[in-house]
Amino acid sequence: MAGCVSRVELSVSCRSLLDKDLGSRSDPLCVLLQEVGGGRWAELDRTERIKNCQNPEFCKKLVVDYYFEKVQKLKFGVYDIDNKSFDLNDDDYLGGIECTLGQVVSSSVFTRPLEMKQGKPAGKGTITISAEEIKDTRVVYLEIEAQNLDKKDFLGKSDPFLEFYKQNDAGTWQLVYRSEVIKSNLNPCWRKFSVPLQTFCGGDFNKPIKVQCADHDSDGSHDLIGTFETNLTQLQKAGGSSPVEFECIHPEKKQKKKSYKNSGIIRIKSCKIETEYSFLDYIMGGCQINFTVGVDFTGSNGDPRSPDSLHYISPDGINEYLIAIWSVGSVVQDYDTDKLFPAFGFGAQVPPSWQVSHEFALNFNPSNPYCQGIQGIVDAYRQILPQIRLYGPTNFSPIINHVARFAAHSAQQGTASQYFILLIITDGEITDLDQTRQAIVNASKLPMSIIIVGVGEADFKAMEFLDGDNGVLKSLTGEPAARDIVQFVPFRQFKNAPREALSQMVLAEVPKQLVSYYKWQGWPPVKPPEKKTM
């Protein structure tokens, strides 16, 4: 099993960013990429965007799994965001740096000049990154409202938002959470939010916390309404019918006016602390990952005996299907104790009846479709190729529904003991798109993830649609997926990359998907980690 030593949380701030916006300051966001081999980079995380700010202190922390045994090359890129699209290619680049995670974690504060490209500085811009190990998996959930806040806007009511700061050991205040802005409201009720306990107060319930309430201005010159100090011990008294109230004090007003009472009341409606489990908590707690492979044997692949077929096995014994099976399977097999993997084909005419089948066992044994290890899948694939006729159509839903039946049966046990990964390798021309959408929406409520590797040079528009990265996938009837469970990767992007690059890319989402499922169900690991005593 890959030994993730720990998770590391990176705090990012910048100074003296370039100005790319005419008439106003830039709206920066910082994105974190990690090298996945072959000169390719995959996005790990990104901060929020801060409007009109040349010296941003980003609130959202960037979280990285820290592997001692890997050189983890990181790239931080700062962009000026002027639109709503997720894609950063249409945004102005304000500079970036490349470094390793080892460099960041071994220096308490890591500051570097931003560069436009190697050796070319981005004006006077600098980036500062500090790392903190996430040792505590508890999370603070807060619900907060306010009453009678001061009116700050000349023509309307205030647009209040909250900021929470924790006091560092050096006595300085570090931003840990910024709420949404509630427009034109002196009695706002902010939406419930959560902050990891480690971020919120370093796990110290008596560490001072400063809360600021301010009136948001679109030009970035926010006006302070008031502030107060507290700690988690005090906040925790809130709950049920007894909220905890704090007076919001504006220090200058208090000094000037004898009759000054406050600038409003901040009311903590509830404060709960819950444990959040990680992927490794579930794996180490006894969750098995079941791996199933589905191979596309439709006619569009070309005759396996012809060298231009995607199923043609080259003289050195490989093709894209086999490489995909090997590279994904070799990582996943570590998480499955029995190493027995069901493997199926679809879209071919199968002997003896020569009927088209959309879920036939690669070993021709429908009652026991399990292959021994990844090598067993490879052997079964090589043996079956000369015995079937490639045909069509390309239907994904039967094999998705097949795995979903096993996942549904496992979910009935009500424990985090089994998770299912289906790897579909295809040349891309999907026929039953509507049925597949429905199958994925149904599967999103089950303990399973679907990885699709597209081989060949086809147009994979339909696959990208199923991946749901550009919005939530919906069934034909409009029912949305409960969670994003599909990861699609075109093989051609990895033709010249090392084999581990493909598996890292396609498996990157699986830990998040597994945790999101069990969290949604409210299921802890079968054997939860030992409780840390404070």
What does the DSSP assignment read for 53-93? -SS-B--SPEEEEE-TTS--EEEEEEEE--SS-S-STTSEE
pLDDT at 533: 37
pLDDT at 494: 86
Comparing CA positions, the residue from 154, 149, 147 lying closest to residue 263 is 149
497-508 pLDDT, tens per residue?
877 788 878 887
Q: At what angle do helices 397-411 and 433-443 cross, to 10 degrees?
A: 10
**Hey, what are 89's tokens?**
């290619």
Count of other CB atoms within 10 angstroms of residue 485: 29
294-321 pLDDT, tens per residue?
999 999 999 999 999 999 999 999 999 9
CA distance linking residue 61 with residue 72, whole number of Å: 18
**Hey, what are 523's tokens?**
């299921």
CA distance linking residue 436 with residue 452, whole number of Å: 13
In three state form, how does the secondary structure of 187-230 look?
Answer: CCECCCEEEEHHHHHCCCCCCCEEEEEEECCCCCCCEEEEEEEE
Q: Burial code of 195-219, b = ≥16 C-beta within 10 A, e = fewer?
A: bbbbbbbbbbeebebbbbbbbbeee
CA distance linking residue 423 with residue 336, whole number of Å: 15
Paired with 165 in beta bridges are 175, 210
pLDDT at 107: 67
**Hey, what are 480's tokens?**
């949305």
Question: Which residue type occupies 360?
Answer: F
**Hey, what are 63's tokens?**
């979280």
CB burial class (10 A; 0-12, 13-18, 19+) of residue 16? middle
CB–CB of 211/227 below 8 Å?
yes
CA distance linking residue 10 with residue 214, whole number of Å: 26
**All domains of the chain, ordered by start, with CATH?**
6-134 (2.60.40.150), 138-275 (2.60.40.150), 280-521 (3.40.50.410)
The SS3 of residue 342 is strand
pTM: 0.66
Q: Burial code of 403-440, b = ≥16 C-beta within 10 A, e = fewer?
A: bbebbbebbeeebbbbbbbbbbbbbbbbbbbebbbbbb
Ranges of the chain whose pLDDT falls below 70: 1-6, 21, 68-70, 107-108, 468-470, 530-534
CA distance linking residue 188 with residue 182, whole number of Å: 7
C-alpha of 401 from chain center: 25
Tell me the CA distances in angstroms from 481 to 425, 452, 468, 496, one per residue in order.
22, 17, 9, 34
The SS3 of residue 310 is coil
CB burial class (10 A; 0-12, 13-18, 19+) of residue 124? exposed
pLDDT at 68: 57
Tell me the CA distances in angstroms from 341 to 332, 336, 421, 426, one per residue in order.
11, 9, 11, 19
CA distance linking residue 14 with residue 122, whole number of Å: 12
